[in-house]
Amino acid sequence: MKKLTIQILFSVLVACLLSLLVSCGQNQKQSDQSTETQLSVESHEKNLSLPVVPDSITDTNEKLNYLITHYWKNFNIQDTTLLSDPDYTEQAYVDYLSFLFRTEKSFALESLRNLLIFSEKEPTGTAFRYFIDQSRKYLFDPNSPFRNDEFYIPIVEYIIASKNPILNHADKERAKYNLKMMLKNRVGEKANDILYTRVDGTQSSLYKIESAYTILFFNDPDCTACKEATQLFKDSEVIGSLLETNQLQILAFYTGSDYNAWRKHQKNIPTSWISGYDKDGFVSANEDYDLKATPTLYLLNRSKKVLLKDVDDTQIIYWLQENALSPLIVN
């Protein structure tokens, strides 16, 4: 499923969820509901049937958690033919993730573990393998808008601990390596320091940057998405304002080995940014950061604790727009 399609589905599902939480237990849609929402709900109901939230549950968060807890109740885990239908099972999984991102993290992680337990009730291991693969596709793949290390960590931990024969040695080793990398530079923890070399040969480090916020921008001269992110940051009023008042700094960092390409690329980097490269290859050799793709973007606070990890450029701009003046987050 293409990135744009998933993003559209996420927006539609949010609307569907809000409608469901307001009108659970009702047999008819409200008369003022838009045609677009009606079509979205009807299309969704043709797939996996959602559980009906009891009328006795009135709190919105409790309704959401009930929906998540019982989400797979009507899914026949023994019927492995359903797994080959992306319009049914894969779509159901995408919908499920969209709900998880709206609840508390601890509740969502427990639900993901419970889904794997549920999938193991199918004796051939086909369902278990399917949900393991879907979890990797949507929570770990760098091209997925759902990618989220914190959500994927319990999946790999489950794989490592599992004795299910469907998992082989390679599965276990890959999970161990992925876990090792995901545990680095987590949100709320201090990011690893970076020694960078500027085009003039002078050196400094990430920790010496003194601004309230730092965007750590891992990029590559030949990366189209990097160029798009660079342009978006250039055009952003909030980025420009924070740079001008020294509340923000952007460290554009190159970990590759083609120095000449990087040097020629410097004309595209604003002079107000810091641009450096991994001269001695320490960051790459030590695997200080999990760089699955470029661009990889982090937002750090003054003490270099991670506020956002491996997110889209638009998410960073939105976060700064909403939170840049909050002293509780800056310090």
Low-confidence ranges of the chain (pLDDT < 50): 1-8, 10-15, 18-45, 327-331
CA 205 remoteness from chain centre: 27
Cα gap 210→221, rounded to integer Å: 27
- Give the pair of three-digit tokens for residue 72: 């797979």
CATH of domain 195-330: 3.40.30.10
User: Which residues, in sequence order, are CB contacts of 3 under 8 Å at separation 6+?
Assistant: 143, 144, 145
pLDDT at 320: 97
pLDDT digits (tens, 9 = 90+) for 274-326: 999 999 999 999 999 999 999 999 999 999 999 999 999 999 999 999 998 55
CB 156 within 8 A of CB 179: yes
Is the bond preceding 165 in cis, omega lying within 30 degrees of 0? Answer: no
CA 311 remoteness from chain centre: 6
Cα gap 316→301, rounded to integer Å: 12
Cα gap 137→147, rounded to integer Å: 8
> In terms of C-beta density within 10 A (0-12 exposed, 13-18 middle, 19 or more buried), how is residue 195 classed?
middle
